Amino acid sequence: MGKYFKRAICYFIKIVALIIGIYALMWVTGTARVSTEAFWAELFTSRRGVLLWSAVFVVSLLYPLYGFVRRTVKASVTADWEEIYRAFIVAGYVKGDSVGGVTTFRVSSPVRRLIMVGDDAITVTDNGDGTITLDGVRKEVVQIEFRIHSYIDNKVIDPNEEHFERATEERVEVVEAEVVETIDTEEATTPTDKM
């Protein structure tokens, strides 16, 4: 529950920073139609300001429900660790602590971490059954999950593994289909004997 409220508070801070940033930009560029005093009065004492902060509060409370996700990915920590690790490195993460089968990755860029208000951690949990669980910001988890699948599907496969046999069978089917197609084409182009 503590993690839930921490995420909600971080999102609330982001929205407040965005509102203040927009007004500061208008003030610097001279496009603000009201003075700073009128702006703050509008934000905190008017009916519209109260409605705005109520909406921001509700959205912030709901954000952990839709902004974060826990996904189970078919990947083995022992067999596919190189692909899992590479997916995080390419996404701009660095490996943090590993405790009890749970490895934490954090964003490597300080600027990006600041933008995410420190809520940038993605945990990788080894489920022990050939799957892992990714837990973190929805957008980041989905991108990393896609990369993990992509890297695992394209890794060099040991000929002794079951995957190699499946890939070989699929290749044989493709070659057989090409041979049949070639034979059909040759028969269609061969002139028939004259009687």
Residues 24 and 80 occupy one common structural domain: no
Domain total in the chain? 2
Residues 62 and 78 occupy one common structural domain: no
Is the residue at 193 inside a domain? no
Is the residue at 52 inside a domain? yes
CATH code of the domain containing 146: 3.30.310
Residues 85 and 27 occupy one common structural domain: no
Residues 83 and 103 occupy one common structural domain: yes
Residues 148 and 87 occupy one common structural domain: yes
Dihedral pair phi/psi, residue 12, rounded to 5°: -60, -45
Range of the domain at 106: 74-153
Contacts of 10 by beta carbon, 8 Å cutoff, 6+ apart: 116, 117, 118, 119
Residues 140 and 79 occupy one common structural domain: yes
Dihedral pair phi/psi, residue 125, rounded to 5°: -110, 125
Q: How do residues 74-112 score in pLDDT, each as one tens digit?
A: 998 888 899 999 999 999 999 988 888 899 999 988 888
Is the residue at 27 inside a domain? yes
Is the residue at 162 inside a domain? no
Is the residue at 164 inside a domain? no
Is the residue at 78 inside a domain? yes
Q: How do residues 15-68 score in pLDDT, each as one tens digit?
A: 888 888 888 888 888 787 777 788 778 778 888 888 988 999 999 999 888 888
Q: How do residues 123-168 score in pLDDT, each as one tens digit?
A: 999 988 889 999 998 999 999 999 999 998 887 655 455 554 554 5
Rounded-to-integer distance, Cα 81 and Cα 108, Å: 19
Residues 62 and 119 occupy one common structural domain: no
Is the residue at 189 inside a domain? no
Indicate whether this model's pTM tops 0.75. no
Which token pair is 172? Answer: 């044989």
Is the residue at 180 inside a domain? no
Residues 23 and 92 occupy one common structural domain: no
Residues 105 and 50 occupy one common structural domain: no
User: Which segments within 79-160 are labelled E, that is strand?
Assistant: 93-99, 102-107, 122-126, 132-137
